[in-house]
């Protein structure tokens, strides 16, 4: 997911489906030690993600046990879900 706005924050979720944050800012979710060597994985489960201007994250959405179909991303920024009509 990426936020292409440079001024707005968006909080995004997929209702009823677990998400796992596995990367951020084009980097795999691993901590670095003092020498700069990739270390312990910090990927973790999240219920929602807040993205600032220009931020990006890599997320795995687990649909195990859910019927195939269309899955909806949801944001509380409801004013962006219409075209002003």
**Cα distance between residue 59 and residue 23, in whole Å:** 7
Tens-digit pLDDT profile for residues 55-67: 889 899 988 888 8
Tens-digit pLDDT profile for residues 12-47: 888 888 898 888 776 566 666 666 555 677 788 898
Q: What is the pLDDT of residue 78?
A: 67
- Give the pairing type, strands 27-28 and 19-24: antiparallel
**Cα distance between residue 28 and residue 23, in whole Å:** 4
Q: What is the pLDDT of residue 3?
A: 85
Q: What is the pLDDT of residue 34?
A: 62
**Cα distance between residue 49 and residue 53, in whole Å:** 13
pLDDT class of 54 with cuts at 50, 70, 90 = confident
Q: What is the pLDDT of residue 4?
A: 85
Torsion of CA 29, 42, 44, 78, to 10 degrees: -50
H or E stretch including 10?
Answer: strand 10-14
């Amino acid at each position: 997911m990426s936020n292409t706005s440079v001024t707005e924050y968006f909080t995004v979720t997929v209702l009823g489906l677990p998400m796992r944050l596995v990367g951020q800012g084009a980097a795999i979710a691993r901590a670095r030690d003092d020498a700069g060597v990739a270390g312990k994985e910090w990927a973790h489960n999240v219920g929602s993600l807040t993205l600032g201007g220009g931020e990006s994250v890599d997320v795995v959405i687990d649909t195990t046990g859910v019927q195939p179909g269309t899955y909806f991303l949801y944001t509380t920024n409801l004013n962006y879900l219409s075209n002003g009509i």
